[in-house]
Structure 1
Amino acid sequence: MADERRKLATPEEFAEYSGLSLQRLADMRYHGTGPKFIKYGRAVRYRWADIYTWEDANTFQRADQVAA
């Protein structure tokens, strides 16, 4: 079970990993275009599995492809 419940990523950790700004992550949360996220009150966290799933869904081979 410990492997399934790995440490959650903070927006700062996700921003560092992805190279996106904190503002861009906030915009993606607002518009629903980013990975799923968890809210604990005002605190936002991401599951690493959701980040990887979102990356896979946004991986393309051609510039004219659209997200599924």
Structure 2
Amino acid sequence: MSDILSDSRPRYLDNDEAAAFLKLSPRTLEKQRVRGGGPVFRKFGRRVVYALADLERWADARAYSSTSHADAR
């Protein structure tokens, strides 16, 4: 249990924090939640949060070596 508490990074980020982490606008994440295609999120009641690991995984899945590969997706 002390290992979990010793990690200084937050485990969950709210919409504004997640958008800042990804360098996107908060509105972009809101639209992606409705339309799909965005990072996995969780709802605790009315509160939407993103796990840091999910944000990193989503960003890593969008790594390309050329613009032609990015356009094909």
TM-score (norm 1): 0.82
Distance 1:55 1:18 in 2: 8
**Structure 1 moving runs of 4+ over 6 Å:** none
Residue among 5, 30, 53 paired with 1:26: 30
Partner AA of 1:12 in structure 2: D
TM-score (norm 2): 0.77
The structure in which a higher percent of residues are strand is: 2
Tell me how many residue pairs correspond in the alignment.
65
Residue among 24, 49, 58 paired with 2:62: 58
Q: Which runs of 5+ in 1 are unaligned?
A: none
The structure in which a higher percent of residues are helix is: 2
TM-align CA RMSD: 1.6
